[in-house]
Amino acid sequence: MRTARRIDKLPPYLFAEIDRKVAEARARGADIISFGVGDPDLPTPGHIIDALTEAARDPGTHRYPSYTGMPSFREAITGWYADRFGVTLDADAEVQPLVGSKEGIFHLPVAFVDPGQVALIPDPGYPVYETGTLLAGGDVHLMPLVADRGFTPDFEAIPSEVLERSTVMWLNYPSNPTSATVDKEFFERAVQFCRAHDLLLAHDAAYTEITFDGYVAPSVLEVEGAMDCAVEFHSLSKTYNMTGWRVGWVCGATQAIEAIKRLKTNIDSGIFDALQRAGIAALQGPQEVLAETVARYQHRRDLLCDGLKSMGIVVEPPRGSIYLWVPVPEGHTSESFTTFLLDEVDIVVAPGTGYGPTGEGFVRFSLTLADERLEEGVERLRGVVT
């Protein structure tokens, strides 16, 4: 059997080696505390589960769903967008439901990056921007995100010969893994730049609803001119603790949505209607659970920031996301510190370099574990970090 060359181009899976070590440690009875994966530990709110079970009993949901999603789900999305961002979207032409936003993020380059063309990708960033581009046969240009610039890319640093071949720019705020946030003014500059260089601006908005200290994350589509050049990816996963359900959407520029629709009719057959009805319940139902979720993350953020600070590791409390982006102690690299924590105190973190070369010198702590475990983790760290 021969595998295709494109599979060889895929970088090794970020968590593969860690997973192996964790399995080994667990097999010898270790009590692992994982700050590794960003998968919400809190359950999906009950009213959303009720909506699913009720809809699942309705035979009207049992046949192939529509490729373009239920009109009522798309309208729930446009209603939510209008309330949340003050952005008016056309539910037919400017919204496409996705089988989880990762699905759409992965597929976007198939529609927008030809071989020889380039996608501009944040480094560090969510690995799917790169793998999707590579599998589509496109080239990747990494935009380094450094603390000095608030983890935003320097558009002027992109070489002009790269820009000429570029068709897509990815952004993600609040950011995974850096937890950086931006204000609308940054999106204005990004939209201006993408319009000037004829780029599709693809904004991954997975964490816009997980924000702290009164900060409200903007949508890129709030910016004038964005509807001509930008799309935004959203997901129910982090907002409503629904990672297992696989429901997301992309919305924005008509031409881009049209291309994505065309592509997707050839790939999948839509989202189970019962899940879409649950999605409507999520977007239109009571939002108190979201406020509670956010309050919990904020509390965990503070526990971890305070704990690290008491060990001399200073992390400015982020305004959003479910992560802390933590500099490693002197003498360590991202990988050596990750291995050190696992070997010495049975703690799992994600090495910054797993998200791109500029992630060197950092590890990512996820806040998706109970307070007691988090506190136990801090105590273990205190024992080995000085």
We find the least distance from the C-beta atom of residue 265 to ligand PLP, in angstroms, to be 20
We find the least distance from the C-beta atom of residue 3 to ligand PLP, in angstroms, to be 25
* Helical packing angle, 101-112 and 128-135, nearest 10°: 40
Nearest residue (CB) to ligand PLP, 102 versus 277? 102
Give the Cα separation of 214 and 264 in Å (integer). 38
Nearest residue (CB) to ligand PLP, 40 versus 378? 40
We find the least distance from the C-beta atom of residue 126 to ligand PLP, in angstroms, to be 4
- CA dihedral (167, 262, 13, 321) in degrees, to 10, reads 80
Place of tokens 């000037």: 196
Nearest residue (CB) to ligand PLP, 211 versus 237? 237
Nearest residue (CB) to ligand PLP, 104 versus 138? 104
Q: Are 338 and 353 in contact (CB under 8 A)?
A: no
We find the least distance from the C-beta atom of residue 302 to ligand PLP, in angstroms, to be 21
Nearest residue (CB) to ligand PLP, 61 versus 243? 243
We find the least distance from the C-beta atom of residue 247 to ligand PLP, in angstroms, to be 7
We find the least distance from the C-beta atom of residue 177 to ligand PLP, in angstroms, to be 8
Burial 202-228 (b: 16+ CB within 10 A, else e): bbbbbbbbbbbeeeebbbbbbbeebbe
We find the least distance from the C-beta atom of residue 368 to ligand PLP, in angstroms, to be 11
Binding site for ligand PLP (CB under 6 A): 38, 100-102, 126, 172, 176, 204, 206, 235, 237-238, 243, 248
Nearest residue (CB) to ligand PLP, 104 versus 381? 104
Is the CA virtual torsion 241, 79, 194, 217 positive or negative?
Answer: negative
Identify the three-state secondary structure at position 366.
Answer: strand
Helices (H), the chain: 5-8, 16-27, 46-56, 71-85, 101-112, 128-135, 160-165, 184-196, 226-229, 236-239, 254-265, 273-284, 288-310, 334-345, 371-384
Nearest residue (CB) to ligand PLP, 321 versus 353? 321
Number of helices and strands (H, E) in the chain?
15, 12
